[in-house]
Amino acid sequence: MALFEVFQTTFFLTLLSLRTYQSEVLAEHLPLTPVSLNVSTNSAHQSLHLQWTVQNLPYHQELKMVFQIQISRIETSNVIWVGNYSTTVKWNQVLHWSWESELPLECATHFVRIKSAVDDARFHEPNFWSNWSSWEEVNGKETGTERLKKSCKATTPLSVQDSLGQDILFVFPKDKLVEEGANVTICYVSRNIQNNVSCYWEGKQIYGEQLDPHVSVFHLSSVPFIRKTGADMYCEVSQGSVSKGIKGIVLFVSKVLEEPKDFSCETQDFKTLHCTWDPGVDTALGWSKQPSQSYTLFESFSGEKKLCTHKNWCNWQITQDSQETYNLTLIAENYLRKRSVNILFNLTHRVYPMNPFSVNFENVNATNAKMTWKVHSMKKDFTYLCQIELYGEGKMMQQYNVSIKVNGEYFLSELEPATEYMAQVRCADASHFRKWSQWSGQNFTTLEAAPSEAPDVWRNVNSEPGSHIVTLFWKPLSKWHAKGKILFYSVVVENLDKPSRPELHSVPAPAKSTKLTLDQRSYRIWVTASNSVGTSPASVIVISADPENQEVEEERIADTEGGFSLSWKPQPGDVVGYVVDWCDHPQYTLCDLQWKNVGPNATSTVISTDAFRPGVRYNFRIYGLSTKRIACLLEKKTGYSQELAPSDNPHVLVDKLTSHSFTLSWKYYSTESQPGFIQGYHVYLKSKARQCHPRFEKAILSDGSECCKYKIDNPEEKALIVDNLKPKSFYEFFVTPFTSAGEGPNATFTKVTTPDEHSSMLIYILLPMFFCFLLIMIVCYLKSQWIKETCYPDIPDPYKSSILSLIKFKEKPHLTIMNVSDCIPDAIEVVSKPEGTKIQFRKSLTETELTKPNYLYLLPTEKNYSGPGPFICFENLTYNQAASDSGFCGHVPVPLKLPPSQLGLMISPENVQKSLEKNYMNSLGEISAGETSLNYVSQLALPTSGDKDSLPTNPVEPPHCSEYKRQMAVPLCLASPPPTENTSLSSITLLNPGEHYR
């Protein structure tokens, strides 16, 4: 026991001595100076890294100390930064600290020193700083200081000279990476201060400040992101105007890393957590300077970590233990920054069910259907809440909610027949609702039913003599009323005045009208629509035997903003309703008739449709319907949805032009086809005098010219007399209609010149003379045949001469043209030719000079010839102009002086023919060109018996000259020229047997 007490006493004394020693050591303020200061550089981050230890620190003693660090640039006296660093220091501990420089370290030499002080709460006495450590010089290159101290004594910092090497210029920092919006300092170092250096940032010259003659610094504030491949800066060295080289750098500016947004995790099967987030902008840069930001999931309760391979989602495997609460942290990181976001949740509250499947429809009819579907199994006793939506015609019709375990079904009712529907379903956790699953749906169509409503029917009646042309129109039933596809329309016509079997007309769909021809009796018409299931109720309309009242006065109406406002007087008696009809396109043949049904108590309505167009006249008819369904025309309305100016001008005619007036008329101008109600006309008149006539007023046209204007307020007045004009004056006029919207289009003026006053008198004289002359010409034309026969008779045709009947046609039976060789002449007349022409007929005759007309009578040789008798011989002057000019045609009988023997010789037909042919052929050779012609000699025809075309067998004495005159063609070469004072006419007359002269 005593030994134990001795040991305890000794221990406490030793401990007290140790504490007393420690207090004394500390109380003596032993110097705790930093030693072993070492400074290194990181060019990529442009930072200085310091490490040191503390001397005289007690063994296993921990003290809170503060260190003050001082940094100078270029010179130790140029302190650029002073700061304190506090930490707990252990015995023999190596301390570390870093400082990032704004200026690239390669551009200047830096100096660092440090001192320390105790900052522990166990010491209440004031702190005392230690002495400064020696300055540590820092160069841009680790080996720069030693190398420069040995080889160079220049005033420029050794590190700078060393960094330049053999180049004349260098730009720092190299390939620096910064965030968008950061401030960046760039410098260049030039070997020769005589060089001129110009620097450019993205092609734009920038200016900096000079640190020393060799170094200049540029400060770029809030640098923007320009491109993923970095922004360019370069400096150009030149001496005078000569470029010595270009040096530059690429500054990589990254987008700022954003904190992930909408970070969320959920499960669909309690096996996997599916986490999603919005990554924001991508901070990747080109040239592999910085990849896209990376994402990591960290669960704090389990301490597990997973690197995500996708930038916006990641899956986390759920363990099979009983962990239900998760604390997940999403960390986003790149080379410059790190950001994170955290969520804490219960697994059962993060359920996102998978989509339902196997959606089907059963027992579908016209109004009902049964919908079934399936869901994926989850953990035990999991309940789904499912939502059903029914769509029809592109909009939602019904919505229902139902809770299920595995399979679901729902009965859909109140559906429309023959309608296509789309039903869809989605599910969620019924216990802890978080979100719905995706929709799963299917289309189905209900069956058809009979149409539920009668067609809306109207008619148009055109009366013709003895019949009515009735055109029935009906509007297609709506989808809800048709209950299916309409196949055809049935039209039943019943005669009300004459009992008969109704007529049935079937009109295939989709026709909307049909035309009926009915006599002038009353008819009742039923119209129904049919589909594959049944027939609709009937629409009934009655056509009266009496024609419609077309004498109703038409009233003009104006369109309002909502359409045409129509009103009418209420009708006495039983009226079941009113009908207003019109054409949507009245300018076309198929005008698309429209109608609107109005109740019996209404006296007004508004007609509005998108089919109405400006400038189109619309005509409305208002009918009253009686209890017998007979329509009676009550009123007519007409108007424009918007009136426009006239589309064309009238074609104006100028009538009754005098020296002092003329009349303008345009009676054929149609006002019905214009795009507005014609209210009147404007007549513009121009004259050289520029003075307006009475009733005209001055006006200025659109081109600035002046004229006179006359206004006609009556649209039916289509003529104007312009008077008080001057003779022989020049006028121009132009007529245009106008509506409430303005005048018609501009057109050219028509020119008119008034005549002279005396010219009208001359017209009054010349016109009667002209008509008289015209009347005479017409009479002459109508009596031309009579005048011709009286004054210019027809010339006999030689081819039709009866002398051809004297020719014997035995040898040439088909000869129809008379030749000299085929003719036996009965007389020859030789007319003397002018001097120089030789005529050889017979030598005895041509050698004798004739002083007067001589006739040679060739008598027949028959014994019973009684001598010459009287005859008449004349020449047709029409065939011989020379003979007609002589004014003489005749034969003077002379006594016969030749002996009978010669007469008999000459009268022989053969001799005569030969003599004629011989002399004719000789004459042809002696007549000059242009003198050959025929001289026709007429003589009395020989009386014949029987056929006149045959030769007479018993010739008799010819009668008097009233007989038909036969003609004989004699060559002109055998005729003598016309008689003159010095010449005489010689004629040779050949007579047939039995002829005589007198």
Token pair recorded at residue 876: 């047709």
Element (H, E) at 789: helix 784-791
Select the more confidently predicted residue: 184 or 868: 184
Q: Edge-to-edge, what's the strand order for the sheet holding 177-179?
A: 177-179, 242-254, 231-239, 196-201, 204-206
C-alpha 492/C-alpha 81 separation (Å) is: 110
User: Is 90 exceeded by the pLDDT of residue 941?
Assistant: no
C-alpha 134/C-alpha 114 separation (Å) is: 8
Of 21-25, 144-148, 321-325, 339-343, highest mean pLDDT? 339-343
3 state SS of 981: coil
- 510 prior amide bond cis, ω within 30: yes
C-alpha 318/C-alpha 326 separation (Å) is: 10
Q: Do domains 169-254 and 261-350 have the same CATH topology?
A: yes
User: Average of pLDDT values for 956-982?
Assistant: 41
Q: Could you report the per-residue pLDDT of 98-151, keeping only the tens digit for each?
A: 999 999 998 899 999 999 988 887 776 667 888 999 999 998 644 333 333 433
Select the more confidently predicted residue: 655 or 805: 655
Q: Which sign, positive or negative, has the C-alpha torsion 95, 100, 101, 105?
A: positive
Please give the CATH topology (third level) of the domain spanning 261-350.
Answer: Immunoglobulin-like (2.60.40)
Q: Which sign, positive or negative, has the C-alpha torsion 479, 483, 489, 493?
A: negative
User: Is 80 exceeded by the pLDDT of residue 948?
Assistant: no
User: Average of pLDDT values for 294-313?
Assistant: 94
Exposed, middle or buried, 547 (CB in 10 Å: 0-12/13-18/19+)?
A: exposed
C-alpha 652/C-alpha 649 separation (Å) is: 9
Give residues with Cβ within 8 angstroms of 413, minimum separation 6: 367, 368
DSSP 326-388: EEEEEEEE-SS-EEEEEEEEEGGG-B-PPPPEEEEEES--SS-EEEEEE----STT--EEEEE
User: Average of pLDDT values for 925-946?
Assistant: 41
- Looking at domain 457-640, its CATH superfamily turns out to be Immunoglobulins (2.60.40.10)
User: Is 60 exceeded by the pLDDT of residue 905?
Assistant: no
3 state SS of 764: helix
The reported pLDDT for the residue numbered 888 is 38
Residue 602: count other Cβ atoms within 10 Å of its Cβ: 13
**Residue 807 falls in which region: left (phi positive, over 0), alpha (psi -120 to 50) or beta:** beta
Select the more confidently predicted residue: 902 or 501: 501
The reported pLDDT for the residue numbered 902 is 43
Please give the CATH topology (third level) of the domain spanning 357-446.
Answer: Immunoglobulin-like (2.60.40)
C-alpha 464/C-alpha 429 separation (Å) is: 78
User: Average of pLDDT values for 231-236?
Assistant: 94
The reported pLDDT for the residue numbered 550 is 67
C-alpha 103/C-alpha 140 separation (Å) is: 11
Query: Which of 172, 170, 186, 174 has the alpha carbon at shortest distance from 245?
Result: 170
- Looking at domain 30-139, its CATH superfamily turns out to be Immunoglobulins (2.60.40.10)
- To the nearest whole percent, how much of the chain has pLDDT over 90? 46
Is the distance from CB of 139 to CB of 39 less than 8 angstroms? no
Query: Which of 378, 423, 424, 369 has the alpha carbon at shortest distance from 404?
Result: 378
The reported pLDDT for the residue numbered 418 is 92
Cα first-last separation, the chain: 230
Select the more confidently predicted residue: 965 or 330: 330
Token pair recorded at residue 501: 């079997």
The reported pLDDT for the residue numbered 881 is 41
Q: Could you report the per-residue pLDDT of 759-790, keeping only the tens digit for each?
A: 666 677 788 888 898 988 888 888 887 877 77
The reported pLDDT for the residue numbered 549 is 64
The reported pLDDT for the residue numbered 270 is 87
User: Which band of pLDDT confidence, cut at 50, 70 and 90, is reported for residue 797?
Assistant: low
Select the more confidently predicted residue: 804 or 478: 478
C-alpha 995/C-alpha 858 separation (Å) is: 10
C-alpha 152/C-alpha 954 separation (Å) is: 177
User: Average of pLDDT values for 718-744?
Assistant: 90
User: Is 50 exceeded by the pLDDT of residue 856?
Assistant: no
Give the helix ranges, DSSP H, for 85-211. 144-151, 158-164
Residue 92: count other Cβ atoms within 10 Å of its Cβ: 10
User: Is 70 exceeded by the pLDDT of residue 624?
Assistant: yes
Domain ranges of the chain: 30-139, 169-254, 261-350, 357-446, 457-640, 653-758
The reported pLDDT for the residue numbered 227 is 94
The reported pLDDT for the residue numbered 125 is 64
User: Average of pLDDT values for 335-360?
Assistant: 93
C-alpha 986/C-alpha 831 separation (Å) is: 6
User: Is 90 exceeded by the pLDDT of residue 251?
Assistant: yes
| Lowest-confidence segment of 177-186, 342-351, 476-485, 913-922 by average pLDDT | 913-922
Token pair recorded at residue 382: 């999991």
3 state SS of 414: coil
The reported pLDDT for the residue numbered 326 is 93
- Looking at domain 653-758, its CATH superfamily turns out to be Immunoglobulins (2.60.40.10)
Output the pTM of the full model.
Answer: 0.50
User: Is 90 exceeded by the pLDDT of residue 212?
Assistant: no
User: Average of pLDDT values for 868-892?
Assistant: 42
User: Is 90 exceeded by the pLDDT of residue 278?
Assistant: yes
C-alpha 867/C-alpha 890 separation (Å) is: 21
Query: Which CATH number fits the domain 169-254, given the four candidates 2.60.40.10, 2.60.40.1840, 2.60.40.420, 3.40.50.300?
Result: 2.60.40.10
The reported pLDDT for the residue numbered 126 is 61
The reported pLDDT for the residue numbered 164 is 56
Select the more confidently predicted residue: 193 or 99: 99
The reported pLDDT for the residue numbered 876 is 46
Residue 74: count other Cβ atoms within 10 Å of its Cβ: 18
The reported pLDDT for the residue numbered 818 is 54
Strands (E), 259-312: 261-267, 272-278, 294-299, 304-307
> pLDDT averaged over the chain?
78
The reported pLDDT for the residue numbered 849 is 40
User: Is 80 exceeded by the pLDDT of residue 687?
Assistant: yes
User: Which band of pLDDT confidence, cut at 50, 70 and 90, is reported for residue 929?
Assistant: very low
The reported pLDDT for the residue numbered 340 is 95
Q: Could you report the per-residue pLDDT of 505-542, keeping only the tens digit for each?
A: 999 999 999 999 999 899 999 999 999 999 999 999 99
Element (H, E) at 433: none
| Lowest-confidence segment of 229-243, 458-472, 483-497, 830-844 by average pLDDT | 830-844
Residue 398: count other Cβ atoms within 10 Å of its Cβ: 15
The reported pLDDT for the residue numbered 928 is 40
C-alpha 544/C-alpha 527 separation (Å) is: 17
User: Which band of pLDDT confidence, cut at 50, 70 and 90, is reported for residue 862?
Assistant: very low
Strand partners, 423: 390, 442
The reported pLDDT for the residue numbered 323 is 82
User: Is 70 exceeded by the pLDDT of residue 919?
Assistant: no
Q: Could you report the per-residue pLDDT of 42-99, keeping only the tens digit for each?
A: 888 889 999 999 887 777 778 889 999 999 998 999 999 999 999 999 888 999 999 9
User: Which band of pLDDT confidence, cut at 50, 70 and 90, is reported for residue 960?
Assistant: very low
